[in-house]
Structure 1
């Protein structure tokens, strides 16, 4: 339980540092993870471009500046590895703006409990409201969504 609380605290503190820094680079924060793998801690920061897709140069620049800001503010006890990368083609949908940008695109949604006998839904995100999303004509209450992400369709 202590590790989960620590992870949540670190993520919140890193987000506060990262958001304005990334905005100054015309990048947006997608997600922050702080996880222990084996005996090592990893801080993973996923970014995307605001007006264009993120590239390797953007990741390198963000990593360098974020590393300096984290060293200066020191929100993380102990040693860790910093990784800055793109969320990839199957980017998670976390924030309201993520859902809004995904309207008309193919998505994959998993729910905490079955809806009409299903827990996984894939198809075009047709509509988003504060209370629900509509994927391939299936209405899914927002409070039942466990995870959602863009989904690549191979033809």
Structure 2
């Protein structure tokens, strides 16, 4: 049931975002009695502000209500993913180029971790520069989790 709801909300969110420079990163549903819907959006080359999130929230809520998705009520939160959430869409990588990241990846069934500067990004790979100056190139298929490490 929840997967179908996430799929439908994702479709509706994509339709709301069609004429914007935003893309859908992820949809989560938490809780059962009164579900809390989390919709994460981002842009290729800039952040997302609160007014923009509010506008997407209004439009998406209207569509969800029109489809009578949660007759018992729900709460919706539209947000940018922020730096504490792992990167989950490859469109998030380019704007984080030059930032420090922790990357968990898989090679031949083994899980490994690396920390370094996200040096390069293209359609297929990312390159992480380690403290010793060496660079590790990883294909997106190898990535398990990438977290940006905030700097003070």
> Into which bin does the TM-score normalised by the smaller protein fall?
0.7 to 0.9
Q: State the Cα distance separating 1:17 from its structure 2 match.
A: 0.8
Change (3 A) 1:58 1:127: same
Aligned match of 1:102: 96
Q: TM-score, normalised by structure 2?
A: 0.73
CA distance in 2, matches of 1:118, 1:51: 31
Aligned match of 2:11: 16
**SS in structure 2 opposite 1:43?**
strand
Counting matched residue pairs gives 147
* Preserved contact between residue 86 and residue 148 of structure 2 (Cα < 8 Å): yes
Change (3 A) 1:142 1:153: same
Unaligned stretches of 5+ residues in structure 2: 130-134
CA distance in 1, matches of 2:116, 2:8: 35
Aligned match of 2:114: 121
Unaligned stretches of 5+ residues in structure 1: 1-5
1:54 aligns with 2:48: yes
Which residue of 133, 139, 142 corresponds with 2:140? 142
